[in-house]
A and B are shown apart, each in its own frame.
Chain A
Amino acid sequence: MADVTFTVDGKKLTAPAGTLLIEACRTHGIEIPAFCYYPGLSLQAACRMCVVRIEKVPKLQTACTTPVAENMVVTTESPEIAQARKATIELLLGNHPLDCPVCDAGGECELQDMTFKYGAHESKFVEIKQHREEQQWSPVVFFDRPRCILCYRCVRVCGEGMDVWALGIQNRGAGAVIAPNKQDHLECEECGMCIDICPVGALTSGTYRYKTRPWEMNHVGTICTHCGDGCRTTLGVRRGDDGMDIVRGDNRDKSGINGDFLCIKGRYAFDFANREDRLTKPLIRQADGKLAPVNWDQAIEFAGKKLREIRDARGGGAIGVIGSNRTTNEEAYLLQKFARTVLGTNNIDHHRTADYPAFAAALNHSIEPGAGSSGTPALAGKAEASLRDFASAKAILMLGNDPTEQHPGLAWQIRTNVRLNNARLYVANHELIKLRRQATSFLQIREGDYPALIAYLGGDDSALDGNGEAAKLREAIRGEESLLVAFGSEFRGGDVSALVRFGSLLPTVKFACLADYVNSRGAADMGLYPDLLPGYVPVGAAAHFAEEYGSALPAQPGFDLVQMFDAAERGALGALYVVGSNPIARYGVDPAALSNTFLIVQDMFLTETAQLADVVLPAANLYEKAGTVTNAFGDLQMVKKAADKAGVRTDFELIVRLAGALGADPKKLVPFGRRGVQADFGQARGAQSGEVDRHGVWLAAHHLEPKLSPFDPFAILDEIQRLVPAYNVPHFELLAGDDQHLRPGLVRIEDAGSRRDLVLPSNDTLFSSGTLGRYSQMLSSVMEARKPAETAAD
């Protein structure tokens, strides 16, 4: 829209016509206070804090509902306005308890800040305050009625933002009160958005309430360890008995790819880290068959010695390695390097939740010579979509998956885009997924009909004959100028290439292949495959890897995960090294299969797999380390160390130490100290949690890279960037915490259709998260609370 020019506090400003005055002012650095106004939500004009004086208008006007107009003259601060705001606060404080010293919001409360600014600390009201007891609405949400200032933010974010509509307003006037949908409790997605958006302490969380004060914590913005969306979560950490404890997770840092959003997992399911039953000492199975604690040297020496013996006696082919969906890229990469160069085996795999090799192959095929005789790759149009793209795309096609349950961040982006930008959403699914409520058109198909749907969309009329709905969908999609296509694990192998081929018929299209866990994508990109190296380079074409590693790699594909357990059963697997994974429970493996295999497990808890181990090494989780992760959409982000637990070590350090015990040269495994050995890690300035990472930003800005230690993940990131060009994104932005979308150019040219399909979707819901989720008290209690309600509804 055309720009208009107007004057605010004597300054001439311009903004597009239609912009709200409050937004226009904020853009130009003029802060107008408001409780009820929240960008992106509908307007309420309930709080009257944003009143301003507009020339030629008789009364004060609310800036949150007034669009800017040509030649408008506005005053935002004057004695008159200050008096009006002060009176508003006085009324708000009429029944607001002055329990700031014990209120969770104390110190980060908007009402407190406004009272401080406008000084309405003396109340003219002498009536006795009406107290109401605090109510618990769900395991997550607590409501303290007298603190509520009725700004309606929670009601709107729950309804408009989350499409849950679980909060409402009952009664009227002074008796008005926020009410949950089940009269005395909530039945909702437990996302905690209402708590985060509450400007005061009326809504508080079961996790954090009465635990600590905001200023007693360090706040570290890192990446959530659960689903494949890779949302930014800010962890509040506080010194505890054995390290830094995580006390709170929230979305204080709204600069992440998730914008305003976080789900229950990102906000509250960090509690596994503080559990009492976490492993903090290495364990070795003793002669009596029981696991007993030993010290680190004994455990590493023992594990290393056994691995060396088995490798030397039976060859690398007798050893298997299983990686994780939740370790960093650097750790996954290091693990495959360790397997291939130190153990000398390609027997390496992980729990696959999406067919990324097929996706990489399909994307590359679409830029192959067929695209144009001139040889210019038609890459621009056929790329991968970032999660950010879903917030601004004009049209989205969602095939399979249930984002509301499995990718809540994606679902939020799509809902927001539909609501604010009128984006067109096309959904095809075999279930009546909730996201259909935002869809321009929804097509229900049978579970096995996804390939037929793609054939039909591609022009094969016989594939879905006589389906009028499908015809309409095809018509609509063909009319789109640009399209984002997101697909779930229903698409594998040949179906993925068929889908991408169909996409290349459209003018501009981007794809997203959805996987289940925080670094499922990274695990795939980093070559946790028996037949593929990092970047999907086939093991037979490892020339530049051999050059970088300085040694030859095994050229034959190794065992995949299922073959490893088959080999173990027939006694052909001498040792198995499992890092952050629980295959026994996930794949239902018979524990007896591993009775003749030396098993090393690295994990946080004594999982079903760890219980069978000969050596158990207590590992740090994603909140206790630094590195990078890649979300399902190919957004590369840095994780920062927030918490700390005495007795555990990062997977990175453990892999390096194990390699050392096997007699490998750590300097070959992790190329550290290449540019000399002079640097300051910040210790001199009293490094605290996150300090080293922040220091890293400064160093990167000055072209200093102090990789002095074999335990420095960023030394490995350098190597990854040399070998996997897609990961060669600017260091500086990455360290500063910005998400960087991968560059095109993941390889794997050959057809992936012939590979064995080992994708096993985890089918997690909003309240589950694989093995890790079972160790979250908050997730379990929500599941527990929902059970009776569900049976009653049947």
Chain B
Amino acid sequence: MSTQSGQPGTIFSPALAARFDKLVTLYPVKRSALVPMLLYAQDEVGYLSDPVIAEVAQRIGITELDVRNVISYYSLLRTKPAGKYNVQVCTNISCMLRGGNEILEHCKKKLGIPNKGVTPDGLFSLEEVECIGACSWAPAAQVNYDFHENLTPEKIDGVLAGYKAANRGTGK
């Protein structure tokens, strides 16, 4: 994680720090900015590290304990690094009926990691999630912010290969 600071005393990029400066002024109470701030921070840093928690607490004016209380409430927020591509497979009712569990099992085998695991190269992580709102196209999975629908084991193989290729394309 980068510690270069856009402005003194922040671990975030200048753009994000500026965004946060504004964010806390938008609500009647600063605390309302907490969840959006955590989501943006997680997108930039990859997860909510101790320094992230410390800075968010300081920006909002609450204790680190308060920040952790909120983080632990939401499964979307994580305090450990995920892979570069976080594969979230839905196994809620609609997906389950149409083979969501099989997709999850297939991913586990294919990536060689359990639920909530991260591949050794840090490229993929796998997570079983509740409904992602794609019931009409079940079974579905979400990789970072991209949706992949009407999945079959073959189809998800293609999806994973696509990300792998895309990663190679970026040069790392």
Interface residues of A (CB under 8 A from B): 165-172, 179-181, 183
Contacts and interface: CB of A to CB of B under 8 A. Distances in A.
Contacts of A166: 65
Contact of B64 (A167, A170, A171, A181): A181
A179 B65 contact: yes
Contacts of A170: 68-69, 72-73
Nearest to B72: A170
B63 to A, nearest CB: 5
Given A166-B65, A172-B72, A180-B65, 7 more contacts: A165-B65, A167-B65, A168-B65, A168-B66, A168-B68, A170-B72, A181-B64
B109 to A, nearest CB: 28
Contacts of A181: 63-65
Contacts of A183: 68
Scoring A165, A168, A180 by chain B CB atoms within 10 A of each residue's CB, the highest score goes to A168
Interface in B63-85: 63-66, 68-69, 72-73
5 contacts: A165-B65, A172-B73, A180-B65, A181-B63, A183-B68
A167 B68 CA distance: 11
Contacts of A168: 63, 65-66, 68-69
A168 B63 CA distance: 10
B69 A179 contact: yes
Contacts of B68: 168, 170, 179, 183
B65 A171 contact: no
Contacts of B73: 170-172
A167 B66 CA distance: 9
Contacts of B65: 165-168, 179-181
A168 B70 CA distance: 10
Nearest to A170: B72
Nearest to A173: B73
Contacts of B66: 165, 168
A180 B72 CA distance: 13
Which 7 pairs from chain A and chain B are nearest by CB? A170-B72, A181-B65, A168-B69, A168-B65, A172-B73, A171-B72, A165-B63
B70 to A, nearest CB: 9
B72 to A, nearest CB: 4
Interface string B24-62: 000000000000000000000000000000000000000
A594 B30 CA distance: 64
A167 B73 CA distance: 15
A166 B69 CA distance: 12
Nearest to A165: B63
Scoring B64, B65, B72 by chain A CB atoms within 10 A of each residue's CB, the highest score goes to B65
Nearest to B62: A165
A165 B66 CA distance: 9
Contacts of A180: 65
A170 B75 CA distance: 12
A181 B53 CA distance: 13
A717 B4 CA distance: 72
Contacts of A171: 72-73
A169 B65 CA distance: 9
A180 B68 CA distance: 10
Nearest to B67: A168
B64 to A, nearest CB: 7
Contacts of B63: 165, 168, 181
A642 to B, nearest CB: 37
B112 to A, nearest CB: 28
B27 to A, nearest CB: 21
A726 B65 CA distance: 50
A183 B64 CA distance: 10
A92 to B, nearest CB: 21
A169 B69 contact: yes
A180 B64 CA distance: 11
A179 B63 CA distance: 13
A172 B65 CA distance: 15
A181 B66 CA distance: 9
A474 B25 CA distance: 33
A181 B63 CA distance: 8
Nearest to A171: B72
Contacts of A179: 65, 68-69, 72
A171 B73 CA distance: 4
B172 to A, nearest CB: 33
Contacts of B69: 168-170, 179
Nearest to B63: A165
A166 B65 CA distance: 7
A576 to B, nearest CB: 52
B86 to A, nearest CB: 21
A533 B66 CA distance: 56
A180 B69 CA distance: 10
A575 B116 CA distance: 78
A43 to B, nearest CB: 19
A183 B50 CA distance: 11
A387 to B, nearest CB: 30
B51 to A, nearest CB: 15
